[in-house]
A and B are shown apart, each in its own frame.
Chain A
Amino acid sequence: MLPTTDSHPRAAHDFLQDPERSAWHDETLWMVRTKRDRMASRVPEWELLRETASQIKEHTLSQLSGYLEEFADRAEANGITVHWARDWEEHNRIVLGILQRHGAKRLVKSKSMLTEECHLNPCLAEHGIEVIDTDLGERIVQLEKGAPSHIVMPAIHLKRSEVGELFRRTMGTPEGLDDAQALTEAARQDLRKRYFAADAALTGINFAVAETGGFVVCTNEGNADMGAHLAPVHIACMGLEKIIPRQEHLGVFLRLLARSATGQPITSFSSHFLKPRPGQEMHVVIVDNGRSRQLARPDFRKSLACIRCAACFNTCPVYRRSGGFSYSYFIAGPIGSILAPNIDRKQHASLPFASTLCGSCSAVCPVKIDIHTQLLKWRQEIVAEGHTGWMKRLAMRAAAFVFRHPRVFRMAGWWARKFLPLANRIHLDPWTKTRDLPPPPNASFQEWYRRRGK
């Protein structure tokens, strides 16, 4: 894990050493953004949908405990066992406990960034439980023994040919396999037998409905259903912000989610789970892990409205050109950069600065999170807590002094203009290393203004 204030720029520097790959990464994600635009433009009430979603989320966050209790009561009444986890460790203990009670040795998992957040896989492995990620992207990352670089397209850092090589090495597919359909089919055949062998299935939750006690899982591969429908135990894990008040609200969120995420009208599967089938056990684990702390911060609570579509990743010109691994948090991109400081401001100090504040993230967000405003606010907190370098603090103090004294400013400006041609020749500062400064004018505007008409 990269510590300190310059972890993002350093990692971005490394990513950009391969210009061909970084250009490809940018183009690929920009294409997803373009698909999103096309889909959004076909919904005449798109902006109304966003506003509605935003208001539903604001309302829900304002009465979160009530809705969570309502959900838990209904779910229990439906025969689901509800668990509450204060943090990631408690989450893992609960999941492990359920699995051990059933003597489960093999778990198939689908659609859960939360288990990534909780480091569930290594925890279960330690206890001799084999975890198979079944989403294609997650599976690729698992075979690679890597980490997701994107929350919706976890293996977006890999090219097709690299996946082919990975599959050859790990699954014995023929050499040089570079066809999406063939690769998917290979993964599918390999996974199929694992569903049948699984002792338990774990899924994430996209939306938990307070009014019904049911929940919805969105996938494109049907893998969540395959796992949950075959296994005798289904564990579904959710962050406590996944709640929506009513079933009819799904009509808002399901229309926004896939369009924003991948530019599809809807995911291939929107699976509704209400109660365990006869003979099956169903568990829901509701996780806090710092979320209630974020909820108590008025400036940042709206970040909990996130539905994890990752539209802000795809639109972010910084993410596209620095890659998911340049972010020190497991959720990359703009939304990760406002969630991470809630967990550890020192470790993730560089993330809120990894943005030009262009505002595209806030404009694309289907639930209207003011992402770039929150980035700016986190910067203030991070500086106030002293997590930035002394050079920068000194420079800012000096600048503030110059700006407070107009005469000093005029003098500094005059000297800067005299020095400028030299700076353009020696390329010592981080600006002129890569960019020229403009040729200096003879006089500043203020000088001209004072002299005009004289």
Chain B
Amino acid sequence: MTIGLFVPCYIDQLYPRVARASWELLTGLGHTVESPEGQTCCGQPLANSGHAAQGEPCVTGFSQLFGQYDAVVGPSGSCVLHLKEHLEQRGDPLAHRIHELCEFLHDIARVERLEATFPHRVGLHQSCHGLRGLGLGRPSECQIPAFSKPARLLGMVGGLELVPLDRADECCGFGGTFSVQESDVSVAMGTDRLADHERHRAEFITSADMSCLMHLGGLASRAGSPVKVIHIAEILAGNAP
């Protein structure tokens, strides 16, 4: 199928390697992958700040750019959830063809094995919007059988050891504009999240959402913590640094 690769704005500008890893993963599965020109932002920061109306043109633009594809895949649970919800509200059928990367690999491509190896101790940060919004796994509040699509995919990576965490899916405190508007609480949450990984001697924190990792990585770097952050696409694609 022909896949439209949706590259969230901050990944385009700050983490192009995450988009490249996603591109490689999808082309490696034998799909035609295109990333249409003219992408900017999904509009989530506007909506979450109470300016949803001003973010609507972003959703319209997105629909025009990606409407032609069989599927749209993005390496960011949060942006994908925002688009999915807003497209759904408009009755745009694209809402049902847009997927977060892990969700696509797990549910649509049904990947069962990967070539990648990553011989490290890795903590999986379950980003909230992917977890509770897109249903990538079982949130710890819910009394349903446990599952995690990102964890299952990481299980296919050679040498990778997933470390347990004290709080399985506590929020990292990023929260978009929350991270600056409520920076004290945001930093307190992120510091605790980082400490949980340090306590369990994780070398890396990975996630299906780069924005959480931008926050956690920024805190780790400032504190001189040995823990590094890496997007799950890079691990799965086997091109981790």
Q: Which residues of A contact B (CB under 8 A)?
A: 6, 8-9, 12-13, 16, 22, 26, 30, 37, 40-41, 43, 46-47, 315, 317-318, 321-322, 353-360, 362-364, 376, 379-380, 382-384, 388, 392, 396-397, 399-400, 402-406, 409, 413, 416-417, 429-431, 433-438, 440-441, 443-450
Contacts and interface: CB of A to CB of B under 8 A. Distances in A.
B2 interface: no
Contact of B187 (A30, A434, A438, A449): A434
Interface residues of B, number: 71
Given A399-B45, A437-B218, A359 B133 contact: yes
A383 B142 contact: no
Nearest to A372: B132
B111 interface: no
Interface of B: 7, 9, 11-17, 19-20, 23, 35, 37-41, 43, 45-55, 57-58, 61, 128-129, 132-133, 139-144, 167, 170-171, 173-176, 178-190, 192, 214-215, 217-219, 221-222
Contacts of A321: 185, 188-189, 192
Contact of B142 (A357, A363, A399): A363
A4 B217 CA distance: 32
A435 B222 contact: yes
23 contacts: A9-B182, A321-B185, A321-B189, A353-B182, A354-B185, A357-B129, A357-B175, A360-B141, A363-B142, A380-B52, A388-B50, A392-B181, A403-B40, A403-B58, A416-B13, A434-B183, A434-B187, A435-B190, A441-B15, A441-B17, A446-B39, A448-B16, A448-B20
Nearest to B186: A356
User: Chain A interface mostly helix, strand, loop or mixed?
Assistant: helix
Contact of A430 (B41, B175, B183): B183
Contact of B46 (A6, A400, A444, A449): A400
B141 A37 contact: yes
A441 B16 contact: yes
B8 to A, nearest CB: 10
B16 A438 contact: no
Given A317-B173, A356-B171, A416-B13, A382 B55 contact: no
B7 A359 contact: no
A193 B41 CA distance: 66
A438 B182 contact: no
A355 B19 contact: no
Nearest to B190: A435
Contacts of B221: 435-436
Contact of A356 (B12, B167, B174, B214): B174
Contacts of A449: 23, 35
